[in-house]
Every structure is written in C-alpha cells, then in structure tokens.
Amino acid sequence: MSDAQVLLVGAGPGPVDLMTLRAARAVESAQALLYDALISEDVIALAPPGCVRIQTGKRAGKPSMRQDQINRLMLLLARKGLRVVRLKGGDPSIFGRVGEEAEFLRGHGVPVEVVPGVTAACAAAAQFNFPLTHRGQARRVVFTTARLEAGALSGDWSAAGDPEATIAIYMGREVVEVLSARMIAAGRSPDTPAVAVEQAGGTAARLVRGTLASLPSRIAELKSGPVLIVVGEVAAQAWEARPALNADLSRVAS
C-alpha cells in the first residue's frame, strides 16, 4: 500500500464486490475510517478490529457533518499517527469534494493518496445493459448535478441540448420537473429517451424508463434511495432484466 497517511477512497456504488482491490485493501489497513452515509455495512465490515469508525454523513438533503469539521477531523487523526481512510460512495473525484479535502490536507503537510471507484452512472449502465456512449448516438457524456436557486436550475445547461450527448444527472430526484423543462428549453427533444435508476449497482436497484417529458411522472414510482437520471438516445437500450449478483462475490474482498 501507499505511504500516504490519508487515503481518499472511492467505495463504488454499494456492493463490496464492485470496489477496486486497492480500495478494499485500503479499508482493510485503516486505523481510522471516516465513511459517508451511503456506504454499505459489508464495506464498513472490511475495516480491521480496533479501527476507529466515524460516520460523517454527507447525504444530499440530510443532516451531516460540515465539510470543515471533516477536514479538521482527518487532520487531527493523521497527526495522531493513524492511517486515515476517508471512504466515499462512488468515485471520490465525481461530486466527492476530493479536491477540497486533498488541498486542505496537503496544505497542512499531510501526504494524501486518491483511490478511484466505480461511479453510479457507470454502475447503472452496466447493470441495466445500456452504454453511456454509442456509435451514431452518443459521442460524449456529461456528469452533472441539478440544484435549484430561487426556483430555477443553477448553472449553464446549454450542453443539455446536444442530441449526441448522454447527460447523467446525480441527485436529481427532487428537481426532475424543472430539470426536464430546462433541458427541453435548451433544445433537447421531449421524446428523448430517459431513465431513472435508484440505488444503482446494488441488489435493490430499480429502473424506470420514459422520455424527457414523461420521466417526472414516472420517477414517482421509485422509493427513497439515491436516484441517478440518464438522458440520451442510449437510454432506449436500457432493460430491467439483469444478472443477479453472486452472493459469493459479495464477500470476495473479505
């Protein structure tokens, strides 16, 4: 393993067998584990006996530890000489604040390593049998989030009108109606295929299919787990039949 004192690790979308070997070994060697709210119990169980385990929250729309508190806690534990693993769902470089945390720690002289993980969009595409890019349909992929400011989507959504772009929207459940209207206004056809995937990558994952216009009504069929929305021609290839995860594989890193 690396000599870094703090490892910013991607746990993947949930199941332990979708972690990288490097990520699993990092957790197995942790002396202090700071993990996000959506990390599965199977992944947390990889930490050795005696490891300090601290749940830091970081779930959209829910109470959680402030980012500055997390930064200071990692620094405190590292200065105590502990090997710290900051465990994040998916990939830490995709909406995981890895840049902020790495900059803070390095600014205080703490060696840092980033360990990548499978992000939700890739997990959903693999699980429900659709590609994110496809010759003649999708030449590019945009990973984004959707956030309301004064009732309107923040940010520049001009890229959403590109008919050859697959748009993967993280944490979009609560703003799906505004999102749909904004993408249509940007030039995307209301008939563009769209899917919403709840708990992508996990055994409880669910898929709803529709179009950019119909997805707001369809997404109500999903429950309360994290939802990824994918808009683009490739979404038409999604289908619900998926291979069951091998129960033995879920213990491959244990």
Asked if 33 and 52 count as a contact pair (C-beta separation under 8 A), the reply is yes
Marked catalytic residue, from 17, 58, 91, 248 = 58
Annotated active-site residue 68? The verdict is: no
Number of H helices, E strands in the chain: 7, 12
Distance CA 35, CA 37 (A): 7
Distance CA 121, CA 228 (A): 7
Q: Which segments of 13-131 are extended strands (E)?
A: 32-36, 52-57, 84-88, 112-115
Marked catalytic residue, from 36, 42, 62, 68 = 36
> What are the residues facing 32 on neighbouring strands?
52, 84
Distance CA 63, CA 40 (A): 18
How many of the other CB atoms lie within 10 Å of CB of 100? 13
Annotated active-site residue 62? The verdict is: no
Asked if 212 and 184 count as a contact pair (C-beta separation under 8 A), the reply is yes
The owner of tokens 């109470």 is 63
**Catalytic positions, please?**
36, 58
